[in-house]
Amino acid sequence: MTDYVRRILDARVYDVAVRTPLDPMVRLAHRLSSSIFLKREDLQPIFSFKIRGAYNRIVRLSDAAKAAGVICASAGNHAQGVALSANKLGIAATIVMPVTTPTIKIDAVRYWGGKVVLRGDTFDEAYDHALALESKHGLTFVHPYDDGDVIAGQGTIGVEILHQHPDPIEAIFVPIGGGGLAAGIASYVKFLRPETKVIGVEPVDAASMKAAISAGKRVVLDRVGLFADGVAVRQAGEETFRLCRKLLDDVILADTDAICAAIKDTFEDIRVLAEPAGALSLAGLKAYALTNPRRSGALVAINSGANMNFDRLRHVAERAEVGEAREILLAVTIPEESGSYRRFVQVLGSHTVTEFNYRYAGGSQAHVFVGLKLTDATHEKAAIIAQLEKLGYGVLDISADETAKLHVRYMVGGRAPALADELILRFEFPERPGALLQFLNGVGADWNITLFHYRNHGADYGRVLVGIQVAPGDRARFDDRLASLGYPFEDETANDAYRLFLR
């Protein structure tokens, strides 16, 4: 440990890296009744801490090694760190990336002057090719985590945290992929403040360090989840395992929902969109705070990066509410008869409805996929389910069902070939508590609802697709009822998508 403390204090990182702030998270601190701080590594030139270790490794190469050039295998932040560092030092850098790497990441590496070589569909294939090129061309391989200079460079974050917060710190939460960041921070913090806990955080589907510590040796995971791709590592590093096994106080696991909730917390507090790996440590901090009510000192999380792919935002938004236990997803069985849909919504009372999916399927029972917003997850969820069951509704809590959350919620529907006289209408109505019930009360119970799709998107207007069975002779009366509602709508009965998939 003493050796690493010297190497950390002697690390060359500030030629390219910046001393990032330690920002208070006021809203989250109020919710969790604790002082909470976020180390803002998203403010580095490459929007990630990886620049520290990469530069500290490359700057210490011999002149001959620098002249020959460096190489690495990476599909993300390490690739940018190596490319920028080499650019700063006037060194040639070859970055081997899987062919599946998003164009935005390839372009970022090229922006910093790196030569991109695309090889293989996976990181392992890219890694093997990089090692072959290293041997063939006499290059220096810059490992993303299992290297003493890289570990020391990442450890400078620990130095900054202790300078920035001289008061007691109960725990520092660090995301773990290969373990370089955790090993570096723990080496310094446990030497200077042994009473401060250093806790690693891994995704439940990529927990290579926790598995290694439990087994007492490094293990290779059969597969890893890719949502938090920045920490999707099948095997912890040899040196990082040695250090983390000795220095970490614990390793906490976080699932996708918890990571999404942490991304939302970060945005709400400091208006930054963390990447999934960047928000991982905050997810672990929240889990720790909820299970350790007696705390003394601040809690610190590392926002390790903000290289978020924009197309992930929809998924993050969908999962954040469930991850924060602010939304419950239920499968509810109700009678298949006119008026039962409206009665069911009335039973929900003041609860904010976040989602409704339903399609007529015939028979005497209807199955509704419903989402409800929660204010007190501990007691409210159980009370809602008990209330519905008391009234005779069949209820299944599917909030933790991955298939339901990823797929089924978008697939509720299907054809209803025996259904006659169906109209399909697309409505807009002001998004406010009780708006859905007001809408259903306005339509009334005279006509059978055959399809319903609604999702609260946090906008000013809610959008609802409704199927209603209206006999031709009753159409004039129905049109008068629609006019009295005052809600803008479009008749989509002739819509091609409806015709092809739902009619």
Please check whether residue 450 is in contact with residue 425, taking contact to mean a CB–CB distance below 8 angstroms.
no
Q: How far apart are CA 231 and CA 181, in angstroms?
A: 11
Long-range contacts, 129-137 (Cβ 8 Å, 24+): 129/73, 129/96, 130/71, 130/72, 130/73, 130/94, 130/96, 131/73, 133/71, 133/94, 133/96, 134/71, 137/68, 137/69, 137/71
Q: Do 225 and 348 have their domain in common?
A: no
Q: Do 192 and 302 have their domain in common?
A: yes
Q: Do 446 and 331 have their domain in common?
A: yes
Region of residue 402 (phi > 0: left; psi between -120 and 50: alpha; otherwise: beta):
alpha
> From the candidates 208, 304, 340, 399, which is the catalytic residue?
304
**What's the Rg (C-alpha) of the chain?**
27
Q: Do 65 and 5 have their domain in common?
A: yes
The parent domain of residue 83 ranges over: 1-319
21 CB-near residues (< 8 Å, 6+ apart)? 40, 43, 164
Q: How far apart are CA 188 and CA 69, in angstroms?
A: 31
Number of domains in the chain: 2
**What confidence score (pLDDT) does residue 29 get?**
94
Q: How far apart are CA 357 and CA 349, in angstroms?
A: 18
- Reference 179, options 140, 237, 223, 136; nearest CA is 237
Please check whether residue 50 is in contact with residue 16, taking contact to mean a CB–CB distance below 8 angstroms.
no
Question: What is the number of residues in the chain?
Answer: 503
Q: How far apart are CA 250 and CA 176, in angstroms?
A: 12
Out of 273, 288, 319, a domain closes at 319
Q: What is the CATH number of the domain that holds 403?
A: 3.40.1020.10
Please check whether residue 180 is in contact with residue 150, taking contact to mean a CB–CB distance below 8 angstroms.
yes
Please check whether residue 48 is in contact with residue 42, taking contact to mean a CB–CB distance below 8 angstroms.
yes
Q: How far apart are CA 104 and CA 173, in angstroms?
A: 29
Q: Do 341 and 307 have their domain in common?
A: no
**What confidence score (pLDDT) does residue 411 get?**
64
Q: Which residues pair with 320 in a beta bridge?
A: none
Q: Do 366 and 490 have their domain in common?
A: yes
Amino acid (one-letter) located at 284: G
CA 173 to chain centre: 17
- Reference 151, options 56, 281, 10, 246; nearest CA is 56
**What confidence score (pLDDT) does residue 346 get?**
83
12 CB-near residues (< 8 Å, 6+ apart)? 55, 56, 59, 60
Please check whether residue 210 is in contact with residue 235, taking contact to mean a CB–CB distance below 8 angstroms.
no
Q: What is the CATH number of the domain that holds 309?
A: 3.40.50.1100
User: In tens digits, what is the pLDDT along the chain, a chain of 503 residues?
Assistant: 789 999 999 999 999 999 999 999 999 999 999 999 999 999 999 999 999 999 999 999 999 999 999 999 987 899 999 999 999 999 999 999 888 777 778 888 999 999 999 998 777 788 899 999 999 999 999 999 999 999 999 999 999 999 999 999 999 999 999 999 999 999 999 999 999 999 999 999 999 999 999 999 999 998 888 788 889 889 999 999 999 999 999 999 999 989 999 999 999 999 999 999 999 999 999 999 999 988 889 999 999 999 887 777 877 877 776 666 677 889 898 888 877 878 888 888 777 788 888 777 777 888 888 888 887 766 788 888 888 898 889 998 888 777 777 667 776 777 777 788 999 888 877 666 667 777 778 888 888 888 888 776 555 566 788 889 999 999 999 999 888 887 888 898 888 878 876 77
Element (H, E) at 202: strand 197-203
Q: How is 234-273 classified by DSSP, letter by letter?
A: SS--HHHHHHHHHH-SEEEEE-HHHHHHHHHHHHHHHS--
34 counts as catalytic: no
Q: Do 66 and 181 have their domain in common?
A: yes
**What confidence score (pLDDT) does residue 431 get?**
66
Out of 319, 341, 374, a domain closes at 319
- Reference 482, options 400, 406, 415, 425; nearest CA is 425
Q: Which residues pair with 426 in a beta bridge?
A: 465, 490
Angle at 10 (CA atoms; ends 55, 168), nearest 5 degrees = 105
Please check whether residue 429 is in contact with residue 462, taking contact to mean a CB–CB distance below 8 angstroms.
yes
Please check whether residue 252 is in contact with residue 284, taking contact to mean a CB–CB distance below 8 angstroms.
yes
- Reference 409, options 297, 298, 322; nearest CA is 322
Element (H, E) at 459: none
**What confidence score (pLDDT) does residue 321 get?**
67
50 counts as catalytic: yes
Tell me the two tokens of residue 428. 């807009």
**What confidence score (pLDDT) does residue 459 get?**
55
**What confidence score (pLDDT) does residue 366 get?**
81
The DSSP call for residue 229 is G
Q: Do 355 and 377 have their domain in common?
A: yes
Q: Do 303 and 355 have their domain in common?
A: no
- Reference 206, options 219, 196, 191; nearest CA is 219
Q: How far apart are CA 436 and CA 364, in angstroms?
A: 24
Out of 319, 344, 365, a domain closes at 319
Cα dihedral sign, 325-174-219-206: positive
Q: In terms of C-beta density within 10 A (0-12 exposed, 13-18 middle, 19 or more buried), how is residue 195 classed?
A: exposed
> From the candidates 50, 66, 197, 264, which is the catalytic residue?
50
Tell me phi and psi for residue 227, to 5 degrees.
-60, -50
Q: Do 452 and 336 have their domain in common?
A: yes
Q: Do 315 and 334 have their domain in common?
A: no
Q: Do 304 and 352 have their domain in common?
A: no
Residue matched to tokens 């519905």: 388
